[in-house]
Structure 1
Amino acid sequence: MLDNLPIQALLPELRAQLASQRQLIIEAPTGAGKSTALPFAMLDWPEIDGRILMLEPRRVAARSIAGFLAKQRQQALGDDIGFRVRGESKVGRNTKLEIITEGILTRMIQQDPTLDGVAMIIFDEIHERHLSTDLGLALALEVQESLREDLTLVAMSATLQGLPLEQLMPNASKLVSEGRSFPVTIAYQAAKTQTNASYMPDWLSHMGRMISALMQPDSAIALGASAEQAAGSLLAFLPGKREILQLQEYLTERLDSAILLLPLYGELTAAEQDAAIAPVANGVQKVVLSTNVAESSLTIDGITMVVDSGYKRQASFNPKTAVTRLGLKRISQASATQRAGRAGRLSAGFCLRLWSSEEQARLMAADEPEIACSELLGMAFDAANWSVKSLNDLPLLTPANAANEAVAWQLLQSLELVDAQRNVTAHGKQAYQLGASVRLAHMLVKANELAQKRQQPQLIGLACLLAALLEAGGGSGSSDVLNRLASATNGLAGRLCRNWLQRFGIKDAPQSFIPAANRSDTAMLLAFAFPDRVAMARGQQGFLLANGTGVMLDSSDPLNQADWLVVADFQEQQGRSAGRVWLACELPAALLQQELSYLCHWQEVAQWQEERGRIQAERQLCLGKLVLKSEPLALSSEMRVRGFLDYVARKGLAVLNFDERARQLQFRCAIARSHQPDFADLTDETLLGSLADWLAPYLNDVQNIGQLKALNIYAILLDSLSWPQRQQLQQWLPEHWPMATGTNAPVRYDAAGRALLSVRLQEALGMAHSPQLLDGKLTVTMELLSPAQRPLALTPDLASFWAGPYVEVKKEMRGRYPKHLWPDDPANTQPTKFTKKRTLNQ
């Protein structure tokens, strides 16, 4: 079965490269066999002396590929071929090919930087750009460079478009394979605008109707599928579990009961995932409702039709609140191609896209890498344990998001996992060994210390239950964590819980700790992990977290009656002002004076009081952004300055005298930075983040808002530049341009990085080309004016304007302004700022 795949043609050359090359890049489209036939063949190559690790982005793919290859070798999993995913492993002493998920590699390297016994690491589907992929590749490159010159690294992708692999691995050999996918007919069927009274969004109802139609032969043919395709099975791509369950309920009531309706997403058990992938009996059809787990590295038997919602659920991290928001977003063109290809893996297929062909052209070319938009806490902790002080010190495909990384290091330090120099502390080393996510690992270590101090082993048992519950996804049901502890004793959560209990030398079963669980201990442990998610009730508006985010529960939830919560799991929702709480625990207020008192601190604040029209100073006891109590404070001059800074920070720069000259200075500096990156940064975001540096020195004599608004912001910003920068700015990007007529024509700059010179057309006569600024790297856009100072033309190419559009301008303007020059050869005419008669007299 594997012998006929296109990748076979590439194997002789690949094998020959292994004699001298230790870095390989393979581009092999869908159906080439790179995930199956290639590693299968390598098992018997004597050139590979050691284990082969192949990374897959998803657990379901890792298990599926390993099971398929073991079957081809007529062996049990764990013999020559095995897999290792979180919470489950089928690997034996003689296993030569291990299919592993990405995060497993990072742990393996951290535990054994020499990767003893490993000969090759294959990074499959590297184009998906998960955080753990980028980090795993970076660490593997460092291991190869410093410790293991003999280690072979293979990066494989369906496409290299937009993937800077060749810059990261410039000496790697690149091999390209043909794909093997059958033709797929693409059809578009966008949802029509409608009023939908059901619980499903319009696009999801539309998707249900289209799937129902495709499972009826006549309707399927009418939509564009062939009779053969209509007789096969269907794969539907949805953004997440919630939509899958909604659509499953919708279709259950409408599809023939003989059609198998199978969900496929990450939280399902291995048996449930295998059921969606497994072949069905002849003549039986199935509909698989999947997230993007089926987008690559996974062949689902019998699929001839794909219905693509065109949506994905993407997590984006907000560094200001340290919260991840889940939003529904359109997929990229690359993702759409991958999804459509699922219909053509085994025969000619049909793909119905639930958007228009016009919208397809507007989709992003490729997905944004996670390192640019995700939380970087776990990645930073991994880096710290690799003795790295900045993520960008690692050989990464894409630089880390600077704001997100700063938040990650700050939280690691506040949890005492790293010190101020970003070195891992003793506490951090203990936490890292547990293999839990950062916050929960911190909680487990803290719980163990407290359990020993109090002689209360049930504390560590409860902590293991909570950690397992949260790591495994939390299940579903009540939002009160105390009502969900039982679900942490089974499945993946149960395996994790038992593992951590054993780490702490506890042999008791997880369920034995449930009866002793109480609200106070549970809230305390969760606050260890989530100090920024301690929440205070705010009347009818839900709760306010310590990080400043608003959250709400269902109106009928009993936890709404609490004064304080610790929120263990919530999501900010796109288009909603408050996040939705999924899992929380009531927090007894007494804990804030006792075990959690270290979270509270006194601070002196000064704020502008609108109703009183003055600055008021207070001493406040705070937990993050929550004010627990306050006391009035005498207003000093220093506090008054802080009060005005707070006012500007809250209201924005618009409350200052940001006139056009100040804006022009901002634009000029932005253009200068594009030429010299270390030039002064005067963007609004930077100015708001550094008010104490540039604005505070000018506030000592400011007593009221009127005086604040009277400050000369242009002069203040100009003073913030060094003298050499001011000189350089004037040289590169002057505010005026001297014309041959003696006029100093104003040059305006804009946010798009353009320079615009406004001057009457007659004064630009004789100019062969537009002026050049920024050492010749910026061409001025000429705004040519009529004698009445009205715009006639806008052009960055003066020579082309004289040779072309000027002819029409001349025809129209000659009659309107007969006293002014409109020469036939403007490029070779002396400029003037006078009338024709006065010019001739001169």
Structure 2
Amino acid sequence: MRNAVPLSALPIEEVFGPLRQALASHNQIILQAPTGAGKSTALPLAMLQWPEIGGRILLLEPRRIAARAIARYLAAQLGESVGQTVGLRVRGETRVSPQTRLEIVTEGVLTRQIQGDPELAGVALVLFDEVHERHLATDLSLALALEVQGGLREDLTLMLMSATLEGQQFERCLTEAAKISSEGRSYPVSLEYQPVPHGEPWVNHTVAQIRRQLNRREGNILAFLPGQGEIRRVQEQLQEGLPARVRLCPLYGQLSPKEQDEAIAAPPAGWRKVVLATNIAESSLTIDGISVVVDAGWQRQARCNLRNGLTRLETVRISQGAAAQRSGRAGRLMAGHGVRLWSEAMQQGLAQSDTPEILGADLTQLALELAAWGCREADELSWLNDPPAAAMARAWSLLQQLELVDGSHKLTPLGRQVHRLGSDPRLGHMLLKAAELERGLGVPGLQSLACELAALLEEADPLRGRRPGVDIELRLGRLSGPARQQAQKWRSQLGCADAVASGEFAGLLLALAYPDRIAQARGRDGRYQLSGGSGAALPADDPWQGRGELLVAAQLSERQGQGDALIHLAARVELSRLAGALPYLFETRRAQHLDGKSGELVAENRQMLGCLTLARTPLTDISDEDYRQALLEAVRRQGLSLLPWSDAVDQWRLRLAHGRRLCPDLGWPDLSDPALLAGLESWLGPYLDGFKRVAQLKSLDLKGILQAQLDWSLQQQLDELLPTHWQAPTGSRLKLCYHPGGVKLAVRVQEMYGEAATPRLARGQLPLTLELLSPAHRPLQVTEDLAAFWQGAWNEVKKEMKGRYPKHLWPDDPANTQATRVTKKRMQQK
């Protein structure tokens, strides 16, 4: 290896000593180093010469653009090209050699490396850069690396590198990690707040602020925007009247490497540039010459709807941590200036850090990786944040539907093949099943067509921004760049010919990947019902509007505030062709319902495609079971309000809910509204014998039915821990009133004499909220702290009550006075 070209002194060098000491004694390290400290550049180069590291180093970068830029930069510092000492592995590009000692990899690539070689042979150190961004793939690769370290390679060192530790919980997984901090070095960045004026579109305000900075300051400008659409709009507005020798450079993930490099590189001599970027530019990248940052304060955040599996891209406010990262870009190489397009008051209200992606993402790919690793459940690994149970359940269910895992979450032979392909699980299922279709239908080139479809869906839309409509057939044959390379890669892996079948089969193939997104028109207004149960709609100006054809929606997204998802890419499919080629998608189902007007039972056989009803045939052999199912369906549709609820039933359920919350070890059943609706068949169905109309439901003994869900022992525990009444010191049996937040007791204050503290239920965990009453049962005080009341407010209450109710006892020390229900005279008589 050539000697490295000396870097100018960077702050990270101050912690080289402590880092080397930590490497000698720890296999887990957490390094906090601000933006610009040199943790992604100077540190990896220095580590190549440290004797404490006796093997290869893997440097994980969350984004491909940063990985490429860092690899080129580090190789140049050594006077080499990428692929020699410094290597690169990103999706679609691998440049390594036997002499490579430092590999820059992206998240998904690291996961594949661990899956392919669980011992990570020859690797001494894995550096997780920018881990505070908390990408899903980073969390997964870290969980796998910790498993490798704990079970196979104690000598493997893992180092988490983050610009900030605020709001993070790295110690949850790295309990014995050495912590080292670098002060960092950044030039001063002045800040100004320019909130969007009321009524002005924020995009227009962003353009105005960029123009203002171009006129007022020298240097290059970096503007942060949430997505490609906003970048295009800002770019179009800035083009009008753009000053001479100013270049506009968009920067986002879907651009070609050449376009991304142009945004990062310094502009030609005598020129300035304005970089319009998504949050891809928040960290890792150093964009030459940036001295001003204009931050719109928004970002795109993906949220998976667990009901239908669709992902909604929400435009949300950034966090305080992200805002600091963004403004810091202006101070990487020189003194700079930051413009925030929100108020200082709003700044204080921003979340401290961004929500980890694992808490809101679709976890299907993660579940497939877990199955490939041999995990049956996510909790077998250590996570920075546990994957949500509901999202994991949906992911496992989809993998089973695609035949990629079995009922115990074990990878099937088909699942193993899909995992080896490295594709999205849905698209992998399509790629492999297409070969069966090709043989069964006798249509050459179907699998090759599937390769084009999968590449098109995983890479950028070749017609993006040209408004051609959602028809995916228009894109076939137009693949270029990474998409064309990916399609060819899959053809090579699958061993299929280059000849491609007609695009008319696209819908049939897509049904293999998206059996839950087959769309049936709900009229002529472009609205559709999906086989998975949710709704979707075509864009208002789409050429397919009003045609009512059966579609398969390959790409769609939920929209905030609207019920139907918006279809982005789809293909037509003929029902007869679908039924002939994929008959397993169809079933005949017996269905019943009660007519809303007549109340009469309607029973029929329905030909179903998922949740879509394709045909109905009336039935005449109506049975008691048909009536039972129709009544259960009525409750599902119209709600539990059809049942005879009463205050007694409500109070019993509230007591049970408090029992589940406060004493979960006793194993109480869940009788909340969602649980009751989900389990109608088991708890309500047996009591509907002979019932034929909805009105008859009002005659049910609902309390008895619900109490039957508890065995005798649990019923006794409920009465003991959370009783219906409380016995006062006077012997009065007073009713307790439960509510979602606790329990209230209305009691005359004289009957609480002698009680030094607030009575408590449920093993002392639930204090009574005491509504203390006058002798005339009028409220005097509400308290959960009786002791504090006796010592404080009681003196004022006592003075007032003595004048109003002189015949009653108002002692100075009520906590040590005998309780009473009567006047002083009656007390003396007794």
| SS in structure 2 of the partner of residue 448 of structure 1 | helix
Deviation at 1:92, TM superposition (A): 2.6
Q: 1:353 to 1:701 in 2, by over 3 A?
A: farther
Residue 679 of structure 2 corresponds to which residue in structure 1?
690
Structure 2 partner of 1:545: 530
Q: 1:221 aligns to what?
A: none
RMSD: 2.4
Contact 1:480 1:585 in 2 (8 A): yes
Within the alignment, does 1:833 sit opposite 2:821 as a pair? yes
Cα drift, residue 816 of structure 1: 5.0
2:519 to 535, 547, 569: 535
Q: 2:125 aligns with which of 115, 120, 126?
A: 120
Query: Structure 2: which 5+ residue stretches go unaligned?
Result: 1-5
State whether structure 2 residue 220 is matched by structure 1 residue 233: yes
For residue 345 of structure 1, report the CA deviation from its aligned partner.
2.5
Task: Work out which of the residue numbers 700, 710, 716 in structure 2 matches 1:711.
Answer: 700
Structure 1 distance, partners of 2:631, 2:329, is 59
CA contact (8 A) 1:43 1:97 kept: yes
1:26 maps to 2:15: no
Letter paired with 1:574: Q
Q: Secondary structure at the match of 1:180?
A: coil
Task: Quote the offset at 1:618 in angstroms.
Answer: 1.9
SS at match of 2:308: coil
Q: From the superposition, tell whether residues 309 and 723 of structure 1 become closer, same or farther in structure 2 (CA, over 3 Å).
A: farther
Residues 523 and 548, structure 2, Cα contact 8 Å, conserved in 1: no
Select which of 51, 54, 73 maps to 1:46.
51
Following superposition, the deviation at residue 570 of structure 1 comes to 0.8
- 2:214: which partner in 1? 215
Q: CA deviation at 1:90?
A: 2.7
Distance in structure 2 (CA, Å) of the matches to 1:363 and 1:787: 51
Q: Deviations 1:245-288 (Å, cap 9, x if unpaired)?
A: 11221222254243322211111111111222222356643322
Partner Cα separation in structure 2 for residue 280 and residue 717 of structure 1: 73
Distance 2:289 2:669 in 1: 60
Residues 803 and 494 (structure 1), Cα distance of their counterparts in 2 relative to 1, 3 Å cut: same
| Equivalent position of 1:777 in the other structure | 765
Residue type at the aligned position of 1:188: Y
Q: In 2, Cα distance between the equivalents of 1:170 and 1:310? A: 35
Task: Report the secondary structure of 2:726's partner residue.
Answer: strand
Match of 1:627? 613
Contact 1:315–1:324 (Cα < 8 Å) also in 2 = yes
1:188, distance to aligned residue in structure 2 (A):
3.0
Query: Which position in structure 1 is the counterpart of 2:231?
Result: 244
Deviates more, 1:439-448 or 1:343-352: 343-352
SS in 2 for 1:161: coil
Q: Partner residue of 2:349?
A: 362
Q: 1:304 offset after TM fit, Å?
A: 2.8
What is the rounded CA distance, in whole Å, between the counterparts of 1:416 and 1:571 in structure 2?
Answer: 25
Q: Distance in 1 between matches of 2:421 and 2:15?
A: 42
Go from structure 1 to structure 2 and tell me whether the alpha carbon gap of 1:448 and 1:757 turns closer, same or farther (over 3 Å shift): same
Aligned twin of 1:767? 755
- 2:473 — aligned with what? 482
Deviations 1:275-331 (A, max 9, x none): 222223566433222111112222222223323222222221122212112222222
CA contact (8 A) 2:403 2:415 kept: yes
TM-superposed CA distance for 1:402, in Å, is 1.6
Q: CA separation of 1:757/1:231 partners in 2, compared to 1, >3 Å: closer, same or farther?
A: farther
Cα deviation per residue 1:89-136 (whole Å; 9 max; x = unaligned)? 332332211111111111112222222222211112222222211111
Residue 564 (structure 2) aligned to one of 574, 578, 582: 578
Deviation at 1:438, TM superposition (A): 0.6
* 2:375 match: secondary structure: coil
Work out which of the residue numbers 57, 61, 68 in structure 1 matches 2:73: 68
Greater CA deviation, 157-166 or 495-504? 157-166
TM-score, length basis structure 2 = 0.93
Q: How do 1:330-369 residues align onto structure 2 when only pairs under 5 Å count?
A: 330-369=317-356
Paired residues for 1:417-436 under 5 Å: 417-436=404-423
Q: Partners in 2 of 1:783 and 1:34 — Cα distance?
A: 61
Q: Which moved more, 1:469-478 or 1:702-711?
A: 702-711
**Contact 1:482-1:517 within 8 A present in 2 as well:** no
Deviation at residue 822 of structure 1 after TM alignment: 4.2
Shift, 1:493, TM fit: 0.3
Gaps of 5+ in 1: 197-201, 218-229
CA deviation profile, 1:769-824 (whole Å, cap 9, x unmatched): 21233323333332323444444333222222233333444455555555544444
User: Quick one: distance in 2 between partners of 1:747 and 1:204?
Assistant: 57
- Residue of structure 2 aligned with 1:662, choices 633, 649, 663: 649
* Deviation string, structure 1 residues 651-686 (Cα, Å, up to 9, x no partner): 232333343443334433333333444432222222
Match of 1:611 among 597, 601, 612: 597
> In 2 relative to 1, CA 551–768 (structure 1 residues): closer, same or farther, beyond 3 Å?
same
The equivalent of 1:557 in structure 2 is 542
CA gap 1:388/1:758 in 2 versus in 1, 3 angstroms: same
Separation of aligned partners in 2, 1:185 and 1:791: 58
Say if 2:785 is the partner of 1:801.
Answer: no
- The change in CA–CA distance for 1:69 and 1:672 in structure 2 (over 3 A counts) is farther
Q: Secondary structure at the match of 1:18?
A: helix
How many residues align structurally? 816
Partner SS, residue 594 of structure 1: helix
Residue 726 in 1 paired to residue 725 in 2?
no
CA distance in 2, matches of 1:699, 1:91: 70
Q: Which residue of 1 aligns with 2:178?
A: 173
- TM-score in terms of structure 1 length: 0.92
Aligned 1:279-298 pairs, distance under 5 A:
279-280=266-267, 284-298=271-285
Q: Is the 8 A contact 1:602 1:621 kept in 2?
A: yes
Q: Supply the distance in 2 between the matched residues of 1:278 and 1:299 (Cα, whole angstroms).
A: 9
Provide the residue aligned with 2:3 in structure 1. none
User: Structure 1: how far apart are the matches of 2:801 and 2:594?
Assistant: 57
The reply to whether residue 650 of structure 1 matches residue 637 of structure 2 is: yes
